[in-house]
Amino acid sequence: MVLIFPLLIPLLGAFAVLLCKSPRLAVRVALGVGALEMIALGNAVVRVYTTGALQVGEYLRADSLTAFFLINIGLIFALVLVYSVGYLRHIPEGRFSSPRWFYGLVFLFLFTMIAVYLSANLGLLWISVEATTLASAFLVGFYNTKGAVEAGWKYLIVCTVGIAFALFGTITFYLAAVRCGIPQDTALNWTVLMNAAPRLAAAPQLLKLAFVFIVVGYGTKIGFVPMHSWLPDAHAEAPSPISALLSAVLLNCAMYAVLRFDAITARALGTGFSHHLLLIFGGLSITVAAFLMIVQRDLKRLLAYSSIEHMGIVALGVGIGGPLGLFGALLHAFNHSLAKTMLFFTTGDVRENYGTLRMDRIRGMARTLPWTSGAMIAGGLAIVGMPPFGLFVSEFIILTAAFTKGSYLIAALILVALSVAFGAMLFHFQHMLGGESHTTRVRPKAFLTDLAPTAVCVACLLVLGTRIPTVLTNLLHGAMAVLQ
């Protein structure tokens, strides 16, 4: 039951919220369901932390890696839920753009993402990842403007094609497992495959073919260059809380899927093949994204490209490998999600006050929006990897791993990309913050529901930047044991 509740609550919650006709009631029900879900997730994490991996039936399983990502999704989702209360007040009322549709779809989205983390079966994993696309497509197109509809359509089509490739990869993986003598019923079971990995070495071509398709397929959802075309559009056109969910949780979800396959492939064939592939995609992503950040005009597109860059860093961390590289990569995924959530939250305020997210039209933010500007400065410093924030630590760990492994080229690549991204962020942010504003303030003061989530993000990033909590370190070590 420990693993059933986190799945059941958002699913039932989605329908419960959809039944609420009045917007006020819908918001309250949503917060209630969210609180219940946090308890259920917390309970699951505590159980995994104290007693080790949990298996429910044939298809659900939670180990340390799952628990680590469950903390991530729970934390970000709670923040998004609170932030949405203030944000939704300003959404124009439409047929599908009422709070109940928003929360209903958000809970369905949450359900599918938690299903990704809890599935013990690679087929079920695929079904869940595809379901995340379906559940979030309407959230991306929520505003129903021309841009939003185009972004939603592009997201739906590009990701479905990508995921079709992942299905092909999953099938090839299954074929390899069956050919190597693993019974058909369990040949998609992750733990079985992990234990039987040495036997899988008998079909190296199939495994390699499968992994290429997996990386291209799930990589589309992660936003690896060159399959990233949907990502900036979707992030820019979605409502800010949804952009935060996409960037901070969905990308990690897809990365998690790749991690599972990577672990099996690496154990079967050695780390040479799969890790090199991740290095190629990661390197391409950070380089292209960092340079594209310079020329962006829209604030949310800038943040979206920054997400591509950071997912590239995570991929590089995994690709460098070793305990240090993997530790840094997982930690970086966590840190990035906190910093990016915070930045996307500030864009909501900016849009509301300036009526646009075009960065050349935003001036003098520091005077008109002091609180939001403060949050943006903190988030900006965090995202470019300044101490004392968490991203500095995780990037430093990944770089250390690169140097100890002797991959100087990769270390140099990361450093160059980070510097370019740093310059781009600084350039855009100082332009927006400084100068005289031409718009008058629309809203007298920031709401508590806007500021509280940001404060939580800053606090978490500071903690992660100074001393990583023991719970997290233990879970990370458990996760690394699972993956190696």
| Closest CB to another protein among residues 96, 396 | 96
User: Which residues, 6 or more positions from 415, have their beta carbon under 8 angstroms from its beta carbon?
Assistant: 399
Q: Please answer whether residues 110 and 81 qualify as being in contact, where contact means their C-beta atoms are separated by less than 8 angstroms.
A: no
Candidates 134, 294, 377, 416: give the one binding another protein (CB under 8 A): 134
| Closest CB to another protein among residues 88, 124 | 124
Q: Could you tell me the CA-to-CA distances from 114 to 134, 309, 369 in Å, in that order?
A: 15, 25, 36
Candidates 184, 406, 436, 470: give the one binding another protein (CB under 8 A): 184
Six-digit token string for 139: 């959230």
Candidates 22, 35, 90, 150: give the one binding another protein (CB under 8 A): 150
User: Which residues, 6 or more positions from 444, have their beta carbon under 8 angstroms from its beta carbon?
Assistant: none
Six-digit token string for 468: 């990583």
Contact between 167 and another protein (CB under 8 A)? yes
> What is the rounded CA–CA span in Å between residue 304 and residue 224?
12
Contact between 458 and another protein (CB under 8 A)? no
Contact between 151 and another protein (CB under 8 A)? yes
Q: Could you tell me the CA-to-CA distances from 184 to 177, 189, 209, 310, 419 in Å, in that order?
A: 8, 10, 20, 38, 49
Residue 303 has phi, psi (to 5 degrees) of: -65, -35
Contact between 160 and another protein (CB under 8 A)? yes
Contact between 353 and another protein (CB under 8 A)? no
Contact between 188 and another protein (CB under 8 A)? yes
| Closest CB to another protein among residues 84, 170 | 170
Size of the site for another protein (CB under 8 A): 49
Candidates 4, 8, 39, 164: give the one binding another protein (CB under 8 A): 164
Candidates 63, 130, 395, 450: give the one binding another protein (CB under 8 A): 130
| Closest CB to another protein among residues 359, 476 | 359
Contact between 107 and another protein (CB under 8 A)? no
DSSP-assigned states of every residue in 122-181: HHHHHHHHHHHHHHHHHHHTTT-SHHHHHHHHHHHHHHHHHHHHHHHHHHHHHHHHHHTT
User: Which residues, 6 or more positions from 276, have their beta carbon under 8 angstroms from its beta carbon?
Assistant: 319
Site residues for another protein per CB under 8 A: 59, 121, 123-124, 126-127, 130-131, 134, 137-138, 141, 144-147, 149-154, 156-157, 160-161, 164, 167-168, 171-172, 174-175, 178-179, 184-185, 188, 205-206, 232-233, 236-237, 292, 295-297, 301
